Amino acid sequence: MKQWTQGWLSYSPKKDCGNNKFLKKISFQGFDKESVILQNAIKELEIGIAGMLSVKTEVTFEEQLETGIQIVKNNEIHSEGYNIEEKEGILTLQASDERGMLYGIYALLRQISMEKSLTDIKIAEQPGSPFRMYNHWDNMDGSIERGYSGKSFFFVKEEVVVNERTRDYCRLVASVGINAVVINNVNVVGPATYLITDRYLEKVKEMTDLFSGFGIKLFLSLNFAATIELGGPNSADPLDPEVIKWWEQKIGEVYAKIPNLGGFLVKADSEGRPGPFTYGRTQADGANMLADIIKPYGGIIIWRCFVYNCQQDWRDYKTDRARAAYDNFIKMDGDYHDNVILQIKNGPMDFQVREPISPLLGGLKKTNQMLEVQVAQEYTGHQIDVCYLIPMFKEILEFKTYCAKEHDTIADIISGRTLGNINTGFAAVINTGNDKNWTGNDLAGANFYGFGRLAYNMKLTAEEIAEEWIRQAFSNDTEVVEKVLKILMESRATYEKYTTPLGIGWMVTPHVHYGPSIDGYEYSRWGTYHRADHLGMGVDRSDKGTGYAQQYYEPNAAMYNSMETCPEELLLFFHHVPYTYTLKSGKTLIQHIYDTHFEGVEEVEAMMASWATLKGRVNEEIFTVVTERFNKQLANAKEWRDQVNTYFYRKSGIADEKERMIY
Ligand code: GCV
C-alpha cells in the first residue's frame, strides 16, 4: 500500500550496496539549526534511511566526522545547487543555501533508493531555471479543471485544507526540485476570488508556511476583476486611480498576513476572463499595475499569454488562432516591468500532442519569459492512456529559436542565459488529485516526477528521468525497469499515431477532450480547424495562407513556409496537403494516415502484453490500476483508428493499399 500511496518516496527496503557505513552519523556544518527546512531535511533523512536500510542515524552539528556524511555550507556553490562527493569514507554534501541542501539530501536518498553505491560518488547539480513551478487548476468546490486523478486535496467544499497529505505533497514536490506552486485554477471564479480576503487568509498562510518549510513559494491565481467582485470600485481599469488604490490596499493586507507569498498568476482577457482589453488598455498596463504594487513585498506577477479570439467564425480563413499570442504580446516587448514574467504555452494552440514551438518564446527580446507545459493529460489521454511527456518537453527545450547569436534555445531563454535575467521559469499544469496514487494512472506518476527533475536539471535525458522514477516508484528489478522504460519511451509516439496526424491536432470530443470527434470542433468558434475536403487537409499557415510561419526568425520561417522543408511531423499544421502527396517515406499522405493508425493500435496491444508479464513483479495495486487503464486505452485507440481512417476514406475515396478493414 505504502508503495502505491507515497509515489517515489515510499522508502521500501533496498539492498545495502555498501551504503550503510555512511549513514550512521550525519553532521551539519554552517546551517541554522532552527531552520524549518533543515528540520524537514533531517526528518526525511531519518525516515528514508530507516525505511530503506533499517539504519538509525545520529544527527550532530558542527562536528568533524571520520566516517559518515558531512553536510556543509559553502557559499561558492550555485544557489539552490549542490555537490556530493565521497572520499575515504567521508561523504560530503555541499550547498550554499537551504534549498540546495534539501535537494542534495533528496539526491542522496534517490541514490540509495535506486540501489546505487555511494562509494566514489560524485554528483553536482544546479537548477536549470530560477522558477520551477507546478500550476494546479483546482477549484474551491473540490473539482479540478482538466483533472484526471480525483478531486482537489487543497480545497474541499470551499475550504482550504492543510493536512498530512499537504505535507506529503510538499515532500514529493521538493524532492524533484520544484520551488513554486500555484494552488488554484487560473479561471478564478466564485469563492476563489475570496482567497485574498480575511475569509481565507489565515488558512492560506498556514499552507504558505508549510510550503516554505520545503523551499516552495506559494502563489495564488488572481481574478483581474476582483475590484468589482469584492465590493471595490465598479471597474477593473488598470489605469483608474480608484482601482490602483484598491489593489494597493488589498495587496498590502495580503502581505501583512502572508509576507512569504510568492505573488500572483493572472489569466486575463482569455476565454471569457476579464482583463485590461475591456478598458482599452494593454496587457502591459494590467500586468505592470499589479507588479508595481507587489514589488515592495518582493512579489512576482506571472501573466499568461493565452489570449486569443474564442468567438471565431469557421468560415473565416484569415483569422488564425495560432497567431494570437505573438500578435497580442510582441508589440509591448520591453514594456513589462522587471517583476512581471510572461507565461507562454509551449505551442501556439493549446497543449496538443504535437505543435510547433510558440514563436513568442524568444520572439520577445526584452521581456521575462516562463514556458508553460501541460502535464495533466487534457489532450494526451486523460491519464487513462499512457503518454510519457518528458521526451516532448525535451524537444521543446532544445528548439533553436535563432533569437540570438548564441544561447538561443528555449532552455537558454527560460534559464536566463539569453537575456541575462533572473525572473524566468518553467511551469507545468500538473496532474495530481486526491486519488491514492496521486495521478490516477500510476504510469502518469512519471510525468509528475519527470517535469520537476527536468526543470531542475535540463541536461538529464528523458530515459534517465524515466529510469530514476521506475526504480524509485516501482522496483529495481531489471525486467521491470527495462519493460516499463520501453513502454514509457514509446508511449507518446504511439498516442500520436492513433490520434491526430502530422501536427494537425484537435479532432477530439468537444469540451471533454478525450476520444475522437473528427469534426467536433470543425464548425465551431474555437479556431481549431483541420480544413479537410475531398482533395486534402491541413491549414495553410505559409505566406500564402495565414502568414503564421513568418512569426519565426529565419531560417525557421523559411523552413516552415515551404512544404518541402517543413518537418514532416508538422506538415498539416503549416500546410494544406493533397491526400496523394508523397511523404519522405515514399507513402502518400492518405496511406500514412491509414498505416499509422493501424500501427498505433498494434503498439498499444504490445505494451499491454509486456505489462501483463510484470504481474507479481510490481506492487499489486499498481498492477491492477495500470491494467484497467490499458484496457480502456486499447478501446480508445481502436475508436480513434476506425473513426479517423473511415472519415478520411469517405472524404478522399482512396482505398487502403493493404486492404484492411476500413468502414
Ligand atoms: C484553465 C484550455 C483548457 C481550459 C483551460 C485553458 C487555459 O482551453 O481547455 O480548461 O482553462 O486552456 O489554459 O487557461
Q: How many CA atoms are closer than 13 Å to the CA of 462, on its beta-carbon side?
A: 21
Residue 644 included in any domain? yes
Report whether residue 350 contacts ligand 1, using a CB cutoff of 6 Å. yes
Residue 659 included in any domain? no
Residue 483 included in any domain? no
Predicted pLDDT at 1:
67
Q: How many domains does the chain have?
A: 3
Q: CATH code at 521?
A: 3.90.1330.10
Whether residues 111 and 135 fall in one domain: no
d(CA 435, CA 418): 40
Is residue 566 helix, strand or coil? coil
Q: Which residues of the chain have pLDDT under 70?
A: 1
Predicted pLDDT at 14:
97
Q: How far is the CA of 125 from the centre of ligand 1 (A)?
A: 34
The strand ranges marked E within 74-163 are: 82-87, 90-95, 122-125, 131-135, 155-156, 159-160
Identify the residue whose C-alpha is closest to ligand 1 atom 11: 187
Please report, as a single letter, which amino acid is at residue 598.
Answer: F
Give the nearest ligand 1 atom to 186 CA. Answer: 1
What domain range includes position 47?
7-125
Whether residues 119 and 137 fall in one domain: no
Report whether residue 145 contacts ligand 1, using a CB cutoff of 6 Å. yes
Under 8 Å between Cβ of 121 and 86: yes
Q: How far is the CA of 57 from the centre of ligand 1 (A)?
A: 47
Whether residues 47 and 153 fall in one domain: no
Whether residues 94 and 234 fall in one domain: no
> 75, 107, 125: which is the final residue of a domain?
125
Whether residues 94 and 146 fall in one domain: no
Whether residues 140 and 255 fall in one domain: yes
Identify the residue whose C-alpha is closest to ligand 1 atom 12: 350
Q: What angle, 0 to 180 degrees and rounded to 10, lies between the N-to-C axes of helices 445-456 and 390-398?
A: 30
Q: How far is the CA of 267 from the centre of ligand 1 (A)?
A: 10
Whether residues 175 and 269 fall in one domain: yes
d(CA 229, CA 68): 58
Would you state the cell numbers that stand for residue 345, as one nine-digit string? 504555452
Whether residues 410 and 313 fall in one domain: yes
Determine the straight-line distance between the first and last CA of the chain, rounded to whole angstroms: 45
Q: CATH code at 33?
A: 3.30.379.10
> 67, 97, 125: which is the final residue of a domain?
125
Under 8 Å between Cβ of 314 and 304: no
Residue 569 included in any domain? no
Q: How many CA atoms are closer than 13 Å to the CA of 498, on its beta-carbon side?
A: 31
Whether residues 100 and 118 fall in one domain: yes
Kindly report the backbone phi and psi dihedral angles of residue 333, in degrees, each rounded to the nearest multiple of 5, phi listed first.
-55, 130
Kindly report the backbone phi and psi dihedral angles of residue 650, in degrees, each rounded to the nearest multiple of 5, phi listed first.
-65, -40
For the residues of 211-240, what is the DSSP string, one character each?
A: HHTTT-EEEEEE-TTHHHHTTS-S---TT-
Report whether residue 305 contacts ligand 1, using a CB cutoff of 6 Å. no
Q: How far is the CA of 400 from the centre of ligand 1 (A)?
A: 27
Give the chain's radius of gyration (CA, Å).
25
Ligand 1 pocket test, candidate residues 135, 146, 148, most atoms within 8 A of CB: 146
Catalytic status, residue 292? no
Report whether residue 146 contacts ligand 1, using a CB cutoff of 6 Å. yes
Would you state the cell numbers that stand for residue 213, as one nine-digit string? 518549510
Residue 488 included in any domain? no
Residue 568 included in any domain? no
Q: How far is the CA of 353 from the centre of ligand 1 (A)?
A: 15
**H/E segment holding residue 627:** helix 620-652
**H/E segment holding residue 29:** strand 25-29
d(CA 226, CA 189): 10
> 473, 489, 515: which is the final residue of a domain?
473
Whether residues 196 and 288 fall in one domain: yes
Q: CATH code at 383?
A: 3.20.20.80
- Quote the DSSP letter at residue 95: E
Catalytic status, residue 479? no
Report whether residue 306 contacts ligand 1, using a CB cutoff of 6 Å. yes
Options 355, 378, 442, 540, the catalytic residue? 378
Predicted pLDDT at 315:
97
Whether residues 171 and 214 fall in one domain: yes
- Please write down the HEC assignment for all residues of 276-316: HHHHCCCHHHHHHHHHHHHHHHCCEEEEECCCCCCCCCCCC
Residue 484 included in any domain? no
Report whether residue 143 contacts ligand 1, using a CB cutoff of 6 Å. no
Catalytic status, residue 58? no
Give the nearest ligand 1 atom to 345 CA. Answer: 13
Report whether residue 187 contacts ligand 1, using a CB cutoff of 6 Å. yes
* pLDDT tens string 188-208: 999 999 999 999 999 999 999
Closest CA to 82 of 98, 95, 97: 95
The string over 9-48, giving b where at least 16 C-beta atoms fall within 10 Å of a residue's C-beta and e elsewhere, is: bbbeebeeeebeebbebbbbbebeeeeebbebbbebbeeb
Options 32, 202, 271, 605, the catalytic residue? 271
Residue 143 included in any domain? yes
Beta pairing partners, 156: 159
Ligand 1 pocket test, candidate residues 271, 374, 429, most atoms within 8 A of CB: 271
- Kindly compute the dihedral angle of the four CA atoms of residues 66, 69, 72, 77, in this order, to the nearest 10 degrees: 120
Cα torsion angle, 128, 131, 135, 140, sign: positive
Whether residues 359 and 398 fall in one domain: yes
d(CA 281, CA 470): 50
Beta pairing partners, 59: 26
Would you state the cell numbers that stand for residue 553, as one nine-digit string? 526568425
Sorted by sequence, the CB contacts under 8 Å of residue 553 that are 6+ apart come out as 362, 363, 401, 402, 403
